[in-house]
Amino acid sequence: RKLCCISLLNYFQSLLNSLSSRSDILDKAARRKLLTGTEACIFESLRLDPSVPFNSGPPPGPTFQNAISFGEYTVPAGANVFIAAFGIHRDPKYFPDPEKFDPDRFLPENSINRHSHCYIPFAAGPRNCVGQKFAMFEIKATLCQLLRTFKFMKSWKEEEFKFIMDCALLQRSSSAESDNEVPKDTDSDDGILRKITNSKEKAQDLKLKELPLVHQAKKKPENGCSSNALEGDTESWMIGGPLGSRSAVLKFRCSALSDPPSEPPANELHMTYKIIQAETKLLAAVLNSHGMEREVHPNIPDFNLLWTGIHPKPHLLKAMTPYQRVNHFPRSYELTRKDRLYKNIEKMQHAKGAKHFDFIPQTFVMPMDFRELCSSHYRNKGPWIVKPVASSRGRGIYIVNSPDQVPLEETLVVAKYIDNPLLVAGHKCDLRLYVAVTSYDPLLVYMYEEGLVRFATVKYDSSGKHLWNPCMHLCNYSINKYHSDYVRSDDPEAEDVGHKWTLSALLRHLRAQGTDTSLLMQRIEEVVVKAVLATAPPIISACRMFVPYPRNCFELYGFDILIDSTLKPWLLEVNLSPSLGCDSPLDIRIKSAMLVDLLTLVAMLSLPPAIHPACHPSLNCLNRHYTDSSNVSGERGGHTPALITLSSNTSLIFLRGLKFSHKIVDCRSGTDSEMRTRRERCLTETVVHESKIYMKENRMIRTVRSEFERKGGFLRIFPSAESWKRYGIFLDPVTGITCTSAAPGGQSCVPPMVVPHNYNLLLHQQLFPELQSSRKTIESSTPTDHLTRYERALLQGHKASLEERQLDKSDSIKFLFSAYIKNKIEVFKSPRQNKHMSQYQARRTFAQYLICILRRISGQNKTDPIIEDHSELILRFLQKASSNLRTPYFVQIPSRKLAGKDRVAVVAKQLNDFIYLYNRETDLYSEGGDTTQPRT
């Protein structure tokens, strides 16, 4: 087959080369030569390698309807026919020198008087339904695409190719198969072909409806032993099988933090994790309590989980084995950088209509878009919020009234300030939602049922007079914690106390006030899915280039959402590594519950880290790429897919690539509404009886289903029952990937080198088959089960501190001071002992001193008048020191009219910003090898 393809493409390319210039192509004779030559070489290729080389079998395979006599033989009615197109095409009577690839035999002049049945490239009999013209059309279209994209060379010898007969076993569908027979083996490709059913998933969702608003507490065992003692056997810490089975994954539980299992499976297998530049306390506590060990050696590539605070390097991704997991997708900065996020969404606004993507405040990137900012300001006055491009925690953010106040020296984003926020008891708030993406193609997006609500400390004033007050306009905890009025709750169960609430508490509060929380959550889910869709294409391309196995990457995003007074959610930004820092007992509870569910969701295979697929070949088939582009993983060559048959009422045909594109060609002409109707028809037409899907797709569907069963507190928001109707219009009909072109039906977004497939459509059809046949209208609200989950109070989560002895505030200041004093002594001792203190060390010490000061002014005695005097001193220091920073930093002098505590909070926030920038520059010193240079 390869040989034929290559011969075909070679021939075709030489034909093209023989037409020496572009003018030749316009020449009539040359064009005819090309066209007849193309057909001839396709015919010849199909002669040597017919698409159905042998055809036989019981009905609907070819059979004799009536008895037929051949001379003295009579073939009875009902006898099977075995048609061997492969052999017929090699009959030397019609095709002399039959093994030779010679397209000229099909030139019109050489085809006269050839028997009509000596060439049957598209099979024969009642199954010959596709139509030869259509098939030829598709082949030509594919060829054009390939030849435009690639150069083909023959690198194999013909003798190296052997013809092998292969056989596909079809399992008859049987209604007797029960749901229980869905293999637990999540990823395995073990040949036990099962009916795919979604009823398990449905049952799970149905159960949710019965759940009360508040989780039932787990019953304590009567004999008084701890729950973990009962869970002591390894299997309760595993899902998908016992320790050692290849599909078993670790089950993470919050209870392990207070009561670790005695013999956790991860410990037995010496499973390891690595952390690079990330907050580690909670994560390390969870992983350690489940028996995973931290691998600290930078050069050892054996780990089960890599958790990084930065984007992983391509070489690191490429070297991953099937069982390894990393917490980022390549190029996910397309979603998490403020400038890239806006540009990607803006592209979708142009392509699909602004009304579909109007959930992000209008944003400009400075200094490039300064003119646009001015003209927009002229039409629609400020205020504007100025933010560094890639920063977080409110650092460097301030609000201005006019573009003149925006500095043009550095790259910044300037966004329209949403000045009508939803207020709770007069305070502005925003939401931090946790969103997990486990795959981009097919797209799998989950939102955690619980989130955090952050309040600004100072009551909101809509007059615009207090724009400089960050504690009124910004909701970041890192800013508001410096205000003396900030209330921190010490009770992990208190969900609506102080300036940090849970999402469920806010929803219950809003519902009590008569707000339609269901509509609100539906809108929020839509914002999340659309933002992910808008940024997906570049991430998918990067995954295809760098990620060898489909389950290597996952990502936890922190979505910051602001709700305005009309209940419209606005996407402020998406955080790459949402903070897992636990500043309050509520943080510990919510984040620990979310983290254990995330680790279970992403499937940490219970395997020792030193296993490599080379010495464990079964791993390769465990987790191979769903796509045919799996060449990246070293899996080369075309495949002969085994086929499975699904039960007739749930089965669907998976239309691979170009078969489906035929329908799309139809769909592309016509108005939007026509197109939508046609698209829906395409969708329903695909429901056919007795259909087949490929093994790889089958494996993918099983993986998605088993992931759904492990979702814990995560709610899958894509795909969902409504997702195709809601978001289908944004997807390329051939590939299922977001389409960023404006053309109806869209320009295909198929990245080069990728055989088109439509996994999103396939999944939708498989997971929600009942929706294909009936045209249900989209329900106007989030399904009730989702709302129930968002509104109910979360009972899980670790409720104690993460440390044996929690330092109280004064302890922590003492601790910081002692570290500072120790370093300071070193600074003074060094010159006396003739030791050089590097600039790096000196700067670190100075930063520690500044942190002590920051803690002091934001400590408990913030109302102390001395603190106010100190803050004036600090302000003067900041004004001088900021001019020495490499990154420009503009210190804002708080108004004299401000209350003392507000002034202190503004100064503390700016000191915090300064320390951040100062430390960032200090890191450059160490990297620049300046560590030995003495401080002058």
Instruction: Determine the distance from the C-alpha atom of residue 729 to the mean position of all C-alpha atoms in its chain, rounded to a whole number.
Output: 20
Distance CA(742)–CA(745), nearest Å, equals 8
CA 131/CA 512 separation, integer angstroms? 63
Cβ distance to ligand ADP smaller for residue 369 or 709 = 369
Residue 391 is a binding residue for ligand ADP (CB under 6 A): yes
The single residue among 85, 341, 528, 572 that binds ligand ADP, judged by CB under 6 A, is: 572
**Near ligand ADP by CB under 6 A: residue from 573, 697, 722, 791:** 573
Q: How far is CA 738 from CA 531, 716, 825, in A?
A: 11, 19, 59
Distance CA 237, CA 360 (A): 42
* Per-residue 3-state assignment (H helix, E strand, C coil) for 768-812: CCHHHHCCCCCCCCCCHHHHHHHHCECCCCCCCCCCCCCCCHHHH
CA–CA separation, 733 and 714 (whole Å)? 28
Given a contact cutoff of 8 angstroms between Cβ atoms, the answer to whether 231 and 264 are in contact is no
Q: Please, which residue, 41 or 415, has the CB nearer to ligand ADP? A: 415
- Please report, as a single letter, which amino acid is at residue 297: H
Name the residue type at position 671.
T
One-letter amino acid at 509 equals: H
Compute CA distances 743 → 159, 443, 732, 749, 893, whole Å. Answer: 48, 23, 11, 12, 52
Instruction: Answer yes or no: are the C-beta atoms of 688 and 659 closer than 8 Å.
Output: no
* Span from 1-9, 49-57, 470-478, 682-690 in contact with ligand ADP (CB under 6 A): 470-478
Per-residue x/- marks for ligand ADP, 350-369, CB under 6 A? -----------x--------
* Shorter beta-carbon distance to ligand ADP: residue 122 or 455: 455
Minimum CB distance to ligand ADP smaller for 322 or for 894: 894
Are the C-beta atoms of residues 747 and 739 closer than 8 Å to each other? yes
Other beta carbons less than 10 A from residue 112's beta carbon: 6
170 vs 566: CA distance, rounded Å: 56
- Minimum distance from CB of 474 to ligand ADP (Å)? 4
Q: Which of 562, 601, 739, 857 binds ligand ADP (CB under 6 A)?
A: 562
Nearest distance from residue 910's CB to ligand ADP, in Å?
Answer: 14
Instruction: Cis check for the bond before 367: say yes or no (omega within 30 of 0).
Output: yes
Instruction: Output the smallest distance, CB 467 to ligand ADP, in A.
Output: 11
Instruction: Work out whether 571 is an interface residue with ligand ADP (CB under 6 A).
Output: no
Give the footprint of ligand ADP on residues 419-458 (CB under 6 A). Answer: 430
Q: How far is the CB of 166 from ligand ADP (least distance, A)?
A: 55
Residue 560 in contact with ligand ADP, rule: CB under 6 A: yes
- Region from 57-65, 384-392, 503-511, 841-849 binding ligand ADP, contact rule CB under 6 A: 384-392
Minimum distance, C-beta of residue 445 to ligand ADP, in the bound complex (Å): 20
User: Which among 69-77, 136-144, 312-320, 391-399 is the span making contact with ligand ADP, rule CB under 6 A?
Assistant: 391-399
- Residue 430 or 526 with smaller CB distance to ligand ADP: 430
- Closest separation between CB of residue 365 and ligand ADP, Å? 14
**Degrees (nearest 5) of the Cα angle 855, 858, 860?**
100
Tell the residue number behind the tokens 């017929």, with chain if given.
88
Sites for ligand ADP among residues 170-199 (CB under 6 A): none
Distance CA 627, CA 317 (A): 17
Among the residue ranges 268-276, 313-321, 468-476, 925-933, the one whose residues contact ligand ADP (CB under 6 A): 468-476
Alpha carbon 198 to chain centroid, angstroms = 23
Q: Which is nearer to ligand ADP, 385 or 582 (CB)?
A: 385
Our CB check for ligand ADP shows the closer of 248 and 360 to be: 360
Which of 857, 850, 859 has the alpha carbon at shortest distance from 882?
850
Tell me which residues in 683-712 interact with ligand ADP (CB under 6 A): none
Among 385, 424, 761, 837, binds ligand ADP (CB under 6 A): 385
Is residue 740 within 8 A of residue 462, CB to CB? The reply is no
Give 562 or 875: the residue with its C-beta nearer to ligand ADP: 562
HSE value, Cβ hemisphere, 13 Å, CA-based, for 808: 3
The answer to whether 475 is a known ligand-binding residue is no
Q: Which residue carries 């007992």 as its tokens?
A: 585
Copy the structure tokens of residue 204: 């799970």
The least distance separating ligand ADP from the CB of residue 396, rounded to whole angstroms, comes to 8
Q: Which of 418, 436, 915, 917 binds ligand ADP (CB under 6 A)?
A: 418
Among 340, 387, 856, 909, contact with ligand ADP (rule: CB under 6 A):
387
Minimum CB separation from ligand ADP for residue 385, in Å? 5
Please give the structure tokens belonging to residue 80: 């099977």
* 906 is an interface residue for ligand ADP by CB under 6 A: no
Dihedral sign, Cα of residue 733, residue 333, residue 602, residue 433: negative
Q: Which of 558, 652, 74 is nearest to 332 (CA)?
A: 558
Residue 452 or 572 with smaller CB distance to ligand ADP? 572
Contact between 527 and ligand ADP by CB under 6 A: the answer reads no
CA–CA distance from 397 to each of 417, 468, 812 (Å)? 12, 10, 28
Residue 908 CB, nearest approach to ligand ADP (Å): 16
Nearer to ligand ADP, 391 or 631 (CB): 391
Nearer to ligand ADP, 431 or 675 (CB): 431
Decide: 389 and 365 in contact? Cβ < 8 Å: yes
- Name residue 563's beta-bridge partners: 569
Q: Helix, strand, or coil here: 216?
A: coil
Tell which one of 359, 398, 417, 914 touches ligand ADP (CB under 6 A): 417
Taking CB under 6 A as the criterion, the residue among 173, 188, 272, 392 binding ligand ADP is 392
Q: Give the residue with the Cβ less far from ligand ADP, 391 or 401.
A: 391
H/E element holding 11?
helix 2-18
Of 895, 27, 98, 931, whose CA–CA distance to 468 is shortest?
Answer: 895
CB of 562 to ligand ADP, least distance (A): 6
Q: Give the residue with the Cβ less far from ligand ADP, 384 or 724.
A: 384
Is 339 a binding residue for ligand ADP by CB under 6 A? The answer is no
Instruction: Rule CB under 6 A: choose which of 103, 240, 264, 394 binds ligand ADP.
Output: 394
Least distance to ligand ADP, CB of residue 392, Å: 4
**397 in contact with ligand ADP (CB under 6 A):** yes
Write the CB contacts of 864 (distance below 8 Å, at least 6 apart in sequence).
none
Task: Look at the block and give the residue holding tokens 């959610």.
Answer: 569
With 0-12 / 13-18 / 19 or more C-beta atoms within 10 angstroms meaning exposed / middle / buried, residue 131 is exposed
Q: Which is nearer to ligand ADP, 474 or 646 (CB)?
A: 474
Nearest-approach distance from CB 200 to ligand ADP, in angstroms: 39
The count of residues interacting with ligand ADP (CB under 6 A) is: 21
Q: Which residues contact 327 (CB under 8 A, 6 or more apart)?
A: 305, 306, 307, 308, 553, 554, 555, 556, 577
Provide the minimum distance between the beta carbon of 528 and ligand ADP in the complex, in angstroms, as a whole number: 15
Q: How far is CA 912 from the centre of its chain?
A: 33
Q: Please select the residue that binds ligand ADP; options are 85, 143, 475, 761, rule is CB under 6 A.
A: 475
Which position among 415, 532, 561, 794 is part of the footprint of ligand ADP (CB under 6 A)? Answer: 415
Q: Which is nearer to ligand ADP, 576 or 874 (CB)?
A: 576
The one among 476, 504, 579, 760 contacting ligand ADP by CB under 6 A: 476
Residue from 33, 393, 427, 870 that binds ligand ADP (CB under 6 A)? Answer: 393
CB of 849 to ligand ADP, least distance (A): 25
Measure the N-to-C terminal CA separation of the chain; round to a whole number of Å.
74
Binding residues for heme: 129
Binding site residues, ligand ADP, CB under 6 A: 361, 385, 387, 391-395, 397, 415-418, 430, 474-476, 560, 562, 572-573
Binding residues: 129
